[in-house]
């Protein structure tokens, strides 16, 4: 809900709730619960930590740069690579964007 207040305040709450429900149904979570396996657990953990890292990036730059959120971002992104090595490519891109964002904010 914090992301909604930050970026999408003009969208009605009913649309947000419906979107969250629909996104929850289209994810392969229900399928992976039906046939649990190590590979599906690695995919889920990688996605979880990747989305968590992106969330902490947004929190880190909400007002002024907050180092605790940058630390949590780095921890989540490192756990994402630990869960799934193929996630290293989007994480390199996210890290480059974050460093560019820090460079632009600090003169």
Q: What is the pLDDT of residues 6-46, one digit of tens each?
A: 777 888 888 888 887 887 777 666 677 777 778 888 888 89
- Collapsing DSSP to helix, strand or coil, 46 comes out as helix
| Stated pTM of the model | 0.76
For 106, other C-beta atoms within 10 Å of its C-beta total: 7
Overall size of the chain counted in residues: 107
Question: Is residue 73 within 8 Å of 53, Cβ to Cβ?
Answer: yes
Residue 47 has pLDDT above 80, yes or no: yes
pLDDT for the residue numbered 102: 87
Angle of the 38-60 helix axis to the 67-83 helix axis, nearest 10: 160
> Could you tell me which of 56, 54, 38 has the C-alpha nearest to residue 87?
54
């Amino acid at each position: 809900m914090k992301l909604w207040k930050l970026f999408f305040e003009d969208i009605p709450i009913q649309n947000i709730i419906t979107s969250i429900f629909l996104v929850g149904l289209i994810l392969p979570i229900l399928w992976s619960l039906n046939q649990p396996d190590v590979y599906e657990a690695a995919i889920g953990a990688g996605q979880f930590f990747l989305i968590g890292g992106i969330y902490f990036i947004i929190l880190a730059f909400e007002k002024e740069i907050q180092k605790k959120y940058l630390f949590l971002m780095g921890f989540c992104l490192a756990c994402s690579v630990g869960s799934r090595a193929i996630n290293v490519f989007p994480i390199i891109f996210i890290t480059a964007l974050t460093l560019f964002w820090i460079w632009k904010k600090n003169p």
